[in-house]
Structures are given as structure tokens and as C-alpha cells.
Amino acid sequence: MLTLGIDAFISRKEWSGVEWYTYHLLRAMTKMTPPDWRVFLYSMDLPQLPVTDYQLPITNPVWQWRRLAWPPKRGWREMRLSWEMLRRPPDVFFASGGPIPFWHPHGKKGKTVTTIHDVAFLSHSERYQPMDFLRQKLALSRAIHQADLIFTPSEATRNELWPLLHGEPPVSVTPLGVDHERYHTKPISEDRLQNILQQYRLSQPYLFYVGRLDAKKNLETLIEAYVRWTQRAPRAGAGEEPLRLALAGPAGWKSEILQNLIRERRAENLVRWIGFVAEEDLPLLYRGAHAFVFPSLAEGFGLPVLQALSCGLPTLASDIPALHEVAGEAALFADPNSVEAWTESLECIINDQTLRQKFAVSGPLRSQSFSWDRTAKLTWEGIMNVIE
């Protein structure tokens, strides 16, 4: 029997794209485990799921958690997981969300595969916290020199990565999926929606952004463009709510610059930072929005864009390769380096009813091309190929 070991350790309580990728991928992989394979999930502790009705991916009897205790907490991958790899290496080790540990199966002792979610830190290093830059650079270096196979979520990331590899290791594209049971266009309860809006101190109408509030997300361009649009747009009538901009996500590096910009533009009443949003609330906030906006300079995939499309929400995204892969013709794109381009595109996505109706139909259709089952199938294929 062949063994697959997966780094399933999730340290953050507020999950972002990488954590949800790991969770949904493992959950889907359990449903299609090949015969004669056994899977071990390594973690310091069992992950605390931020959504109560999700289940841990342990329903398949050939999957087993291996809790690797490490009281110091720090250095779990470098020390404790490495020690496990040295003592009991699986036939294939999969670093799904973190860097490859110092010791890992390689050569005659086994194979190691990993996922590189993006390499934006190489082209936009000035927008990364120095320690974060160094961590990602180290993880990428280990992947290039030590992995037998690299997964990427998009052709765009693969193309950025390819010049660094010199032909080895091979790269397999495994596009991400979306939970269609949560993100959909089925009728929703208006009472539930209003309760969620009240919980996050929001009122309709609003533009919606989801993601960490840090320098690499290019939110200053969005805020500047939005402020310009409000200056050109007719004022809301008596008793009408203005179209606000709602930013959902935890604070990131240099988020104080965004807060200062909002104050400088005197837009405190128009731009609302609602903080981290629980996963069970997110679909309703998408459904209640007037449009989704995503101004990022670089992305490995762009999961929030896919979620917005699945909810039928008209979407304005950055004109970058990865987001074109996700949205195709089902979204409007604007140059992330141009405030004026974003201002003009905001006018279109807000007021062009023909365009909005088109995207409300084409978005959900486009999202049907993406599923976590497909991600899992491609991942299993890569793992089995590397062991042959």
C-alpha cells in the first residue's frame, strides 16, 4: 500500500485563500482516494473550523490524522514535521499550504510535491512586508530545488514560475474551485440578509471587496477611483442611501495608509471597513451587494472573484492574466495601474444595466467550470504520476 502524507496544519483562526484551498481540496480528495493508497494528515493540532456545519475531511477510513505535538509552537514545520519525515517518511509528501520542511521524502526514499499559490512577491516586492518576502522567497527556493512536482492554481502563475525552473521540476495547473452549495443564485431570505447587513453595520446599496487590506491588494487605486466616481455621480436624493464601498477582510501590512487616505479624501461615511467576515456570512454579503470590485496588482488565482461570479454579482476586476483565467468574458476588467480607468469602469459596472444583466447570467455559468472535485482529481493525477 502506498502512503501519502499531507501537511494539514492551519495556524490562523481567520482563514484566507490558502487555508480554504487546503480544507476544500482535502475534503474533495477523500471522495476519490485511489485503491491501495493510505493518507496521513499531519498537524500540530486538529484545525478549528471557522464554519460550524463543515466537517473535517476524515470520513474516509484510509485517511488518518497524525497529531505531531510541538509545545514551542514556533518552528513546527522546520523541526517537528521534519523529524516525522525523517523517522516515518511517506511514499509521497504533499506540502499543500506551507513550505517544504527541511527533511522530506526525496530521491529513492520517496517524492515531494507542493503548491505554489503565487509568485507576486517577485514582481511587487515593495508591497510585501520584508519578513513575508523572505519567507516566500525561501519557500519558493525549496520548491524549485527540492520538489518533484509543483502545483499552481493558474496558467498565469505557471508562466511566471517557468523561467525560474530550467525545465525541472514539472508544473501542473490545478485551478481552484468554489463551494456551489454556499455561493449560488438561489432565492435567499430577505430577513436573513437584513440581519447580516445590520450585524456588519452596512446598508444597501454598496460595492463589495473581499481580501486582506494590505499593500499588495492595490486598494488605494480602488479608493481613489471610487472617490472620483462619487464626485462625478449625482448625489443621493432625500431619504436615499448613497452607494458605499464596503471592504471586507483583516488588516494587513500598511493598512493604516488606506485609513489615512480615506480620511484625507473625507470619505469616512462612504468607505466602510467591516473587518474579517465569517465564512457563513460571506455569501449573503455578496448577494446583497450592487457589484464586486477587485483591484489587485497580481494574483495566483483570485478566489473572491470566482465566489462573486457564482453569486451572480456583476464584477469589476484587475486586467491581469490570472483573473482573466477565472472570469473569462463574465466580468469587466480595468488596468490596476490607472485610477482613471477604474473610475470609468466603476461607472459602467454601477450604471450600465445591459452589462450588469449580462454578467448576472454569465457569471454563474462561468463558475460552473470550477469545482473542488476537479481540483482534487487533477491533484491526485499529479501525485500518482510522480510516483510512477
What CATH number has the domain spanning 2-177+371-387? 3.40.50.2000
**Residue 128 vs residues 134, 215, 224, 330, 353: alpha-carbon distances, Å:** 9, 7, 21, 30, 38
Return the closest-CA partner of residue 149 out of 110, 185, 177: 110
Collapsed DSSP state (helix, strand, coil) of residue 14? coil
Non-local CB neighbours of 62 within 8 Å, separated by 6+ positions: 33, 37, 38, 39
Residue positions counted in the chain: 388
- Distance between CA atoms of residues 229 and 243, nearest Å: 10
What is the Cα–Cα distance from 44 to 73, expressed in whole angstroms?
8
Residue 52 pLDDT > 60, yes or no?
no
Domain boundaries of the chain, sorted by first residue? 2-177+371-387, 190-367
Summarised one tens digit per residue, pLDDT across range 304-352 is 999 999 999 999 999 999 999 999 999 999 999 999 999 999 999 999 9
CATH of 190-367, one of 1.10.10.10, 3.40.50.2000, 1.25.40.80, 3.40.50.2300: 3.40.50.2000
| Angle at 370 (CA atoms; ends 94, 34), nearest 5 degrees | 40
* Confidence category of residue 91, pLDDT binned at 50, 70, 90: very high
The mean per-residue pLDDT over the stretch 106-134 comes to 90
pLDDT at 234 over 80: no
Equal fold, 2-177+371-387 vs 190-367: yes
Q: Residue 229: what pLDDT? A: 97
Question: What backbone torsions phi and psi does residue 226 show, to the nearest 5 degrees?
Answer: -65, -45
Laid out side by side, the sheet with 37-43 consists of: 63-67, 37-43, 2-7, 92-95, 111-115, 149-152, 171-173
Query: Rounded CA gap, 350 and 244, in Å?
Result: 12
DSSP strand E in 8-91: where? 37-43, 63-67
Q: Is residue 55 scored above 70 in pLDDT? A: no
The pLDDT of residue 48 is above 70? no
Which residue from 234, 247, 222 is spatially nearest to 318, judged by alpha carbons? 222
